[in-house]
Amino acid sequence: MDKKKILVADDEEQILSMIEKKLTNSNYDCITTSNGREVLNLAMTAQPDLILLDIAMPEMDGYMVAGDLRKGETTKNIPIIFLTGKELEPRSINERVAEIGAFGFVMKPTSLQELLEKIRAAIGK
């Protein structure tokens, strides 16, 4: 069975590195970027099974990226889980997640186990 491929976008290198290590150790293929615009290109070329997408990123925030992904023929059905810092209001995040059709969100910092459980709920092992 092929490994599931996950695209992770976060502008904090330490978080990106931690998530990449956990996903790789959990038998997922992992592609990383710290740039919202690059997510669009990587999503089209790599066709990941899931995208973990930070909301607060420079240039293009996660909501803008997700909106563009939903418009793309080859990217519109890729499940998205948003990553966000505690400074954002969960109720407003829930509303945006529902509007965009994302699978949900995880607050940072989160336990990597919780993140894995959310990933498995979205795409399986």
DSSP-based three-state secondary structure for 19: helix
pTM attached to this predicted model? 0.92
Q: What is the per-residue pLDDT across 51-66, written as a single tens digit (0 to 9) for each?
A: 999 998 878 899 999 9
**Whether 18 contacts 112, CB under 8 Å:** yes
Q: What is the per-residue pLDDT across 12-41, written as a single tens digit (0 to 9) for each?
A: 999 899 999 999 999 999 999 999 899 999
Mean pLDDT (whole number) for 93-112: 83
Q: What is the per-residue pLDDT across 33-48, written as a single tens digit (0 to 9) for each?
A: 999 899 999 999 999 9
Give start and end residues of each alpha helix (H) in 7-111.
13-25, 36-46, 62-71, 90-100
Domain spans of the chain, in order of start: 5-85+102-108
Structure confidence at residue 95 as a pLDDT band (50, 70, 90) = confident
Q: Which CATH class is domain 5-85+102-108?
A: alpha beta
Q: What is the pLDDT of residue 84?
A: 84
